[in-house]
Amino acid sequence: MPQSFRPQGGSLFYKPKGPEKKDIRKKRWNVWSIIWNAVKRTCTVIGAMVLFSALLTFIMLVGAVQSTAPALPKDMVLVLKLDQGIVEKPEQASFSDLFPASRPTIRQVTDTLDYAAKDKRIKALIVNQKAGGVSLAHIQEFRAAVKRFRASGKKAYFYTSSFADAGSGMGAYYLASAFDQIWMQPVGLLSITGFGAEIPLGRAVLDKIGVTPQFLQREKYKSAMESFTEKELSPASRESWKTIISSFAQQVFTDISADRTMNQSQLESYVDLGLLDGQSALDANLIDRLDYGDVLVSDIRQEIMGDPEDDTLELMSFRQYANSADGAHKEHSPMISSLSHKPKVALVYISGAIGSMGSGGNMAAADDIAPAIIEAANDETIDTIVLRVNSPGGSPTASETIRRAVVRAKEKGKHVVVSMGDLAASGGYWVATDADVIFANPSTLTGSIGVIMGKFDVSGTWDKVGVNWELIDVGDNAGLWSMNRPFDDGQLQQLNKLIDTTYIEFLERVSHGRKMSVEDVRKVAQGRVWTGELAMGKGLVDQQGGLYDALNYVAQKEGVISPANLDVVVMPRPKNTVEQILELLGGNANVVSAMAKFSEWMVVLEPVMDQLQNTANSQNYMTYDADLEFLKQ
């Protein structure tokens, strides 16, 4: 209505409602608000349609790829090139390492070999390694898998250009000795130098720069900080190291001499030589053939197919075979395994230094591990929990959190089995002590039942450079853990009490878990590290063997033939890329909420993604050409 025709007091059709300017602004804001809400709802609908469309596309794509995926050859020689070594558990991508090295886990290697042993298409195995890259405990598990492969009637060949390309080839040769034949290039060298350890002792350097290490330990063999506190090895530390190295050497020499059918003293005489040329190694029966990779392939084709040129016997990359749609072992999550009818077993990795919260692949986070154990304990379809421990220890508090979860699982009727990898010492033994059965490789380092606490005092360094730190505090011990001042007498007295308490708690837990008296535990404890072989004689472990042996024990308990008949579920489920990103975006609630929804979709799509990836890998032959190059040299 035009302003000139509006009654001043209003009418039946018009009532003034305050300042006209304010009313106009409110109406404009409401309009934009309506438009914005409409846009958001539209985007939500479009997003849902896109996600649903993506799900259908993935399913259709998997079906299409599966229908065109080439079948594996009917006659194959499996080829494994160990150029990057073997790891304990699958490596996860992260912001710091978006594309981690595709190194096989020890379980992937052994499970795939066990699968190949039963696969009629696989006729033989070739492994290539030069020197180093695989730990002694992993070598022992690998050797056992090779021998199971050979027991199926198939031959295994080890080929290398040299056992001396990266220093001592003792570990590589130890692995090679488990094979039917060892081949080396004619100009290669055999370096078998025995075993030794070099321990750095840097106390003199710390004294020069004004740093004073203040560490208190319980029991004389608890010498983890001796590299910083001493200028020379203590008698106890020297004794401990000598025992460990001697145990390693005895295990390796015994196995090699048996595999190569020679007297152990004869083998030791060759080790004392240290370095042999190819012909000398051949004459000593340390290797079987000096020749090239292409000749090895021709010989295998002649033996199996009757024709050295018969290329219908194809070379198959180990990775390609393991990733194939009808290949062998694949790590999987509870969602995928829920469709299986095999006995279900939870496998929980405790790998890395033990702490309350994790940070990357080198930490075993109690906040992740303990809930995973409890989740398995609450799962009525799971009877057994296997803990794979590969840890030097860490926080007593975090170790106790994990141990308590083990106790709760047993209270719920679960059977708990521990498989120790390279290392299960200190806190790594603490978490294992209440298990029903503990397996350790002969070369596993375990025990170290003791306590160390302390800090570095760098006040001397500041004096040297002229920096003075003033402490303004409330409380007599506000600077207790400050590295800018030493412990005073009262603090040392309190720290000693704390260490005594923690050590007694450690002894008591081992006493309860291993059913030994506290005094008997103290006799074998004293902070001393034992090899798995020696630890068994001390009552700290029950059986010798790796993860396969632990799972085989579970299989027998479950009444099935072998670990292949178990549905092994890794818990907690490895985090996908979105979940790893979420950990770094904790401050933005909106972003986290949106990505959390997407992460839920990723979990739903995980089986589809895995199938798609595995099928695509089986077709990508060019990816694996490099794995076979050494056989053309």
DSSP track, 297-358: HHHHHHHHHS-TT-TTSEEEEHHHHHHSTT-S-----HHHHTT--SPEEEEEEEESEEESS-
Written as one letter, the residue type at 366 is A
Residues 6+ apart with CB under 8 A from 446: 420, 423, 424, 425, 428, 429, 440, 529, 530, 531, 532, 535, 540, 541
Is 402 within 8 Å of 374 (Cβ atoms)?
Answer: no
Residue 205, classed as helix, strand or coil, is helix
The band of 274, judged by pLDDT with boundaries at 50, 70 and 90, is very high
Q: Does domain 334-466+477-574 have CATH number 3.90.226.10?
A: yes
* Spatial separation of the C-alpha atoms in residues 609 and 602, rounded to whole Å: 9
Mean pLDDT of 385-410: 97
Distance CA 80, CA 176 (A): 13
CA torsion through residues 521, 525, 531, 537, sign: negative
In this prediction, residue 562 carries a pLDDT of 93
* pLDDT score, position 48: 62
- Confidence band, pLDDT 50/70/90 cuts, at residue 32: low
pLDDT score of 246:
96
The rounded distance, in Å, linking the Cα atoms of 384 and 252 is 33
* Domain boundaries 76-193+274-325+624-632, corresponding CATH code: 3.90.226.10
Question: What CA–CA distance (Å, rounded) separates 524 from 535?
Answer: 9
pLDDT tens column, 467-497: 999 888 888 888 899 999 999 999 999 999 9
Name the segment(s) of the chain with CATH classification 3.90.226.10. Answer: 76-193+274-325+624-632, 334-466+477-574
Average pLDDT over residues 261-281: 96
Residue 627 has what DSSP assignment? H
Distance of alpha carbon 188 from the chain centroid: 33
147-156, 217-226, 434-443: least confident range: 217-226
In terms of average pLDDT, the best of 12-21, 57-66, 273-282 is: 273-282
Average pLDDT over residues 433-459: 96
Contacts of 501 (CB under 8 A, 6+ apart): none
Strand duo 382-391 + 344-351: pairing: parallel
Read off the pLDDT of each residue in 514-519 and give the average, rounded to a whole number: 96
Strands 415-425 and 353-355: unpaired
User: Average pLDDT of the chain?
Assistant: 84
Cα separation values, 407 from 392, 505, 509, 513, Å: 21, 15, 11, 10
**Mean of pLDDT values over 599-612:** 50
Dist CA 129 CA 161 (whole Å): 9
pLDDT confidence bin for 236, thresholds 50/70/90? very high
For residue 373, pLDDT beyond 50: yes
Largest CA distance in the chain: 122
Evaluate if residue 2 carries a pLDDT over 60. no
Least confident range from 139-143, 226-230, 265-269, 608-612: namely 608-612
pLDDT of residue 604: 47
Half-sphere exposure (Cβ direction) of 101: Cα atoms closer than 13 Å? 11
| Of 215-219, 364-368, 381-385, 617-621, minimum mean pLDDT range | 617-621
pLDDT of residue 367: 94
List residues bridging with 353 in a β-sheet: 363
pLDDT at 621: 44
Q: Which residues contact 204 (CB under 8 A, 6 or more apart)?
A: 231
Q: Which residues contact 30 (CB under 8 A, 6 or more apart)?
A: none
Q: What's the pLDDT score for residue 235?
A: 94
Q: In the structure, what pLDDT confidence band is assigned to residue 360 with cuts at 50, 70 and 90?
A: low
CB 414 within 8 A of CB 377: yes
- Say which residue the tokens 């001796």 belong to: 226
User: Tell me, what's the pLDDT at 103?
Assistant: 80
